Amino acid sequence: MNLPTMRVLITCPLPGIAGDRLAASGVDVIQLGDSTVDDASERGLLADVDGIVCTLTDRIDARVLDAAPRLSAIATVSVGRDHIDTETAARREIDVVTTPGALDDATADLAVLLLLSSCRRSTEAEADLRAGRWHGWGVDQYLGLDLMDATLGVVGWGRIGRAVGRRAEAFGMHVLHHSRRPTGEQGFVADLDDLLVLSDAVSLHVPATPETHHLIDARRLDLLGPSAVLVNTARGSIVDEAALAEALHARRLFAAGIDVFEHEPEVHPRLLSAPGVTILPHIGSATIRTRSRMAEMAVDGLLASLGVAVPSPADSRHADRNTLQERDRP
Ligand code: DGY
């Protein structure tokens, strides 16, 4: 008996060889193109879809899931799954595939970049230089904070948090960490407030959940204090963005390095104009190799979950490369 061909909707172009692997697997691929997953659900395009490959900008809520009665797996090209209604998915026995591990190093590197730019005021210094406001070296210009011997508090001691900790140690920092459960490791601080008081810089590495919403609020920003730095490469909702902007404007915080925002792609206007802030457009995992790995992991996980044989990579040099190729050029 011939089994019906599986149909998979993909909401974005897939980097690297992931798209080729999906095509080679023999599933029917529907490209969403310019419309949103919400539009697609309203237009009935999800009615006979077995799998969805999406990204963190696609809101896969109960309404979308209701419009896809055949759906049995969702793969997101992200480690975060807060854009997916996982409770409804679990009730419907829909697998949710993410990309753990694939982006640890790239995200940890970016956290260190933000830590350095915040401590060394490089964003402000570069802006002055570009605007013609720099008139020569000065002994008291752009004085920042040393990483050597400073204490970094890592909130969330998962793979990315640990990767940031290792990097910080290489800069001579003392590393403390906090997580919900005791880690049994040196540097564990049970109380988040204590960690904030003890830290010169704090880097956030917890997922977005109802429990972590505004985990860093005005009160906790004050615990950090005027010579401290906050780095967020995790999710915008973990920090009260308005409170952060006010703390920076009032110089109650030295600086912040922020890659994620509460209402992406919008950024709180007070944060845009705040002194001492480096803001980036959610590029934590944006390296050629990392994004290729993430897309491949999502596609392979989806196919495995659908019970479709995963084709072996046609060209393994292609599968794990770190150089720009013709297909990656904008
Ligand atoms: C993720 O995978 O959740 C990241 O935020 C993407 O950079």
Q: Comparing C-alpha atoms, which of 230, 280, 239 is closest to residue 262?
A: 239
Cβ atoms 275, 127 nearer than 8 A: no
What the block records as the tokens of 24 is 């080679």
Domains of the chain: 7-102+287-317 (3.40.50.720), 104-279 (3.40.50.720)
Instruction: Give distance in angstroms: CA of 155 to centre of ligand 1.
Output: 17
* Pair 254, 275: CB distance under 8 Å: no
Identify the CA nearest to 82 among candidates 59, 106, 103, 53.
59
195/154 Cα distance (integer angstroms): 8
pLDDT at residue 311, rounded to an integer: 76
Q: Is the dihedral of CA 66, 71, 77, 79 positive or negative?
A: positive
Q: Whose CA is nearest to atom 3 of ligand 1?
A: 80
CA distance 221 to 202: 10
3-state secondary structure of 174: strand
Ligand 1 mean position, distance from CA 106 (Å): 10
Give the side-chain half-sphere CA count within 13 A for 37.
Answer: 28
Per-residue pLDDT of the chain (330 residues; tens, 9 = 90+): 556 789 999 999 998 899 999 999 999 999 998 889 999 999 999 999 999 999 999 999 999 999 999 999 999 999 999 999 999 999 999 999 999 999 999 999 999 999 999 999 999 999 999 999 999 999 999 999 999 999 999 999 999 999 999 999 999 999 999 999 999 999 999 999 999 999 999 999 999 999 999 999 999 999 999 999 999 999 999 999 999 999 999 999 999 999 999 999 999 999 999 999 999 999 999 999 999 999 999 999 999 999 998 877 654 444 566 666 655 555
Query: Which atom of ligand 1 is the closest one to the Cα of 286?
Result: 7
- 283 burial type by CB count under 10 A (0-12 exposed, 13-18 middle, 19+ buried): middle
User: Amino acid identity of 282?
Assistant: H
Length in residues, the chain: 330
| Residue having the nearest C-alpha atom to atom 1 of ligand 1 | 78
Kindly list the catalytic residues.
235, 264, 282
Which single residue is written with the structure tokens 């003890």? 198
Task: Give the binding-site residues of ligand 1, using a 6 Å CB cut-off.
Answer: 56, 78-80, 103, 284-285
User: 284 C-alpha to center of ligand 1: Å?
Assistant: 7
Which residue's CA is the nearest one to ligand 1's atom 2?
Answer: 78
Q: How far is the CA of 283 from the centre of ligand 1 (A)?
A: 8
